[in-house]
Structures are given as C-alpha cells and as structure tokens.
Amino acid sequence: MLLLRKSTTVTRYQQRIPRDTSTRLFEEAQQYFPGGVNSPVRAFRSVSGPPLFIAEGHGSHMTDVDGNRFLDFCCSWGPLIHGHDNPHIRERVIETVLKGTSFGTPTQMGNRLGKLILDNHRYVERLRFVSSGTEAVMSALRLARGATGRNKIIKFEGCYHGHVDNLLVKAGSGLVTFGTSSSAGVTEAVARDTLVLPLGDRDLLERTLTEQAGQIACIIVEPIPANNGLLLQDKSWLECLRIKAWKHDVLLIFDEVISGFRVGFEGAAGHYGVQPDIITFGKVIGGGFPVGAYGASKELMDFIAPVGPVYQAGTLSANPVAMAAGLAALEQCLEPGFYEGLAERTHTLATGIEGYARERGYPVHVPHIGSIFWLAFGNERIERADQIDPANMEYFKMIHHELLQTGVYLGPSGYEVGFVSSAHSDLDLQEALAKICAAMDVAFSKENQ
C-alpha cells in the first residue's frame, strides 16, 4: 500500500516555468476583487502557486501572460466544446456584433437558436433563455414551485447546481436531512426547504417522498454529476427518480448545465433515455458566451410570465451576440459523428491513463463519459461524494503542478473534471497521455523516497 507523505508541500515543487507576470497581475487583482478573482476556484487555492493569467487561446491550446503555452483540458470549465477561438463561432460573432450588441427586443438570432435546439432535442418543447447556469437553475426551481404550489425540494449530495440560495445546502446531521446552509448568507429558513439525500439511496428517497407528501415541489439532480468529481450513475437510478417523481406527483429536474450538448445533443436525458420534467442548460449552449436556458413541456412553460404567474426576466437574456455564438457552436455539434468521435478519443485518453496506472500499481481511475473525464484516486469505483478521500487530493496537487511545468492545463482542483474538445487532435491527446503518465510517475514516486 502506498502511503501519502503529507509533508510533501507544494512549496517544495520545482517551479520551472516563468510565472512573474501572472504573479504580479494576481497581486494587483487582490486590490480589486475578493481573493483576486471573480469566481473562487480560479484562485488556485487547491493547487500550487498563483493562478495563471491567460492571454489568448486558439484551438486546443492557450497561452498565459508569461508566454507559457498549455494544452487545455479545462476549456473554460466546460463551455468550449470546440476549443478556443473556433473559426465558425468567431465569424458569426463578428458578423453579429457589427449590427449592434443588444436591443432588449426579440431578435431573429434568438429564434434561430431556439428552433435549432427544439428541432433536435426530444425532451423539451419550449425554452427560456437566461444568462447563466445558476440563473437557469434558480428559474427552474421557481417554475417547479409555481406549478406545484409546494415549497420543498430534494437534492443530492455531490451535485452542484450553481450558487442558488436553496442549493447552497449540504446534508445536516442525522439521516434525513433537512439541509444546513453551506454558505454564510443563506438563511436557515431557505436551507430547511431543501432536503439533501445521498445519491443512489432508493429507500431513503421513497421514505422522504412519502413522509413529506404534499410538500415537495421537485427533485433536482445532475444526471451526470460532474462538479464533485465525475460520479457516474446507473441508468436504473435515473429511471427510479423518474418513476418515483411520477408516483409521488413531484417534478423531476435534470440539471444539464454541464451534460447538456456535451455527452450528446440531447445530453444525459438522451444518453439514458429518461424524460425529466424540466431541463436546465448552460456552458456549451452559449459557445463561450454567457447563456443559460431552461426548458420543459409547453404546458409547464406556460406557467412562465407573460403567459403564466411565475415571473422571470432578464435585461440581457437571449442577447443576440451570445445567441449567435451558441448557434454556431450547436450547429457544429449536429454534424454527423461529432459526439461519437469526441467520445472515442476521450475513451482512448482515459483508458490510456488508466492502463499505465494499473501496470505500475498507481491507485488511479479515470471515469469518463462522452468528452468528460476525471482523475480519481483510490482503488474503488466512486459513485457518491462521500467515497472521495480528501487526503488523495495531494496527489492531484502534485500532478497538476507537474503538468503545468510540461504544458498541460487541468482545472485547478482535484474535484474538477477535464473536457476534451473537438479541437484536440489525436496528436494532442497522445502528447497529453505521455505527459500525464510522466506526472503520475513524479507524484507516486515521491512517496517512496
């Protein structure tokens, strides 16, 4: 059994790439933004050194302000399914920008993206565009409550749904499981409306739905949980959610902000063949611009203003430039073989890493689906949040650091997944495989010292 030497701190890592300009800019940024960032995980707190300030990205690579070039597997945390600076998206955006950037009116570009999605997605009949994944989830919850007239929601440990008050909630002590807030500023009253269950516990779900009958508006789940590692679920569990939601007359929300248009055009709903009542979208849908959306049947969406009583609005919703980017991105996703090719190349990368680790006895698994993969540490298959051992994140820290030195950029936390884009060539992936294997050698040899 390999033992992790906790004394191995990042400061001992050999820094071989220049980071001076990033360091200086990060110091400056602390004067402007809390922690120097506009979204917490960007601060690199779970890995070593200051965050890299990226200057530009093209295809599968990006370059930082010190001139270091990286093969990028963070891909802006998921949106960039076609990589950086995709020519088709760039051209559409420029063409659109030249006509003005925002009107606060309906536009043809909004219609075009709406039509493209609804024509090719069997699980939604009507959409509403918003400007982020968080906004999509927040609005979907309001719709569920407005349509059912009930307050409570069920969510699962290990699923992330953006920074919506009701969902910044973790399991309380005790079996079930009134939530307690996981962020200051989220009131206990709000947290109490959220019931937090472990993924996969069918009995507890049944019991909760029975005991709280008449109070629960919806069950919300990431059908492919990809924000706390990649916790791949059984199809039968998702089917169970569907059946129980019907049985107890509550709505089922699939939060597909990551999985939507990523594991297939119809996302997880299409991948597993499970019909939720409401789906939320984000990330890929905007082609690198701030777009989110939620969709459902016509009947449910008619609860939304101006038709129905559930109010939801947005000054920049369906912004034409963002719609143009989304349209150009999703058109390319619809090309024949697009998702199959991506999935195949991701599978090759993932099994390559896993095979190398197995040969050498490194405790590494690489769960993957579509073009999403995760470096998991330990010897068991991980399906629930509580199976992740935080101590193992030291391994990730070392691997992350080593990869930065050799020009591969992973999201700066071991709980984050990696994304392969259509801009990643076979050669890119071979290079990545070799470098990830070398980084594992460094991470796992240190402890044998």
Ligand X SMILES: *Cc1c(COP(=O)(O)O)cnc(C)c1O
Site string for ligand X, 206-245 (x = CB under 6 A): ----------------x----x------------------
Which CB, 163 or 207, lies closer to ligand X?
A: 163
255 annotated active-site:
yes
Which CB, 76 or 212, lies closer to ligand X?
A: 76
Which of 59, 83, 114, 133 contacts ligand X by CB under 6 A? 133
Which of 255, 266, 394, 428 contacts ligand X by CB under 6 A? 255
Q: How many residues does the chain have?
A: 449
Alpha helices in 99-234 (DSSP H): 108-120, 133-148, 188-192, 202-211
Dmax (CA) of the chain: 68
- Asked if 161 touches ligand X (CB under 6 A), the answer is yes
In this structure, which amino acid lies at residue 217? A
Q: Which residue is listed with tokens 């990523």?
A: 262
Return the residue nearest ligand X (CB atom).
Answer: 133
- Asked if 162 touches ligand X (CB under 6 A), the answer is yes
Among the options 72, 193, 255, 428, which is catalytic? 255
Q: Where does this chain touch ligand X (CB under 6 A) — which range of 15-23, 158-166, 363-371, 374-382?
A: 158-166
- Asked if 160 touches ligand X (CB under 6 A), the answer is yes
* DSSP character at residue 89: H
Burial of residue 185 (CB within 10 Å: 0-12, 13-18, 19+) is: exposed
Under rule CB under 6 A, which residues in 333-352 are in contact with ligand X? none
* DSSP character at residue 230: -
- Asked if 282 touches ligand X (CB under 6 A), the answer is yes
* Whole-number Å distance between alpha carbons of 92 and 402: 38
Among the options 13, 123, 160, 356, which is catalytic? 160
- Asked if 326 touches ligand X (CB under 6 A), the answer is no
Residues 322, 416, 197, 204: is their CA dihedral positive or negative? positive
Which CB, 72 or 222, lies closer to ligand X?
A: 222
Q: Where does this chain touch ligand X (CB under 6 A) — which range of 15-23, 202-210, 235-243, 255-263?
A: 255-263
* DSSP character at residue 203: H
* DSSP character at residue 124: -
Determine phi and psi for 365, rounding to 5 degrees: -120, 155
Q: How far is the CB of 137 from ligand X (least distance, A)?
A: 5
Count of helix runs (H) and strand runs (E) in the chain? 13, 18
Q: Which residues bind ligand X (CB under 6 A)?
A: 132-134, 137, 160-162, 222, 227, 255, 257-258, 282, 292
- Just list the catalytic residues: 160, 255, 283
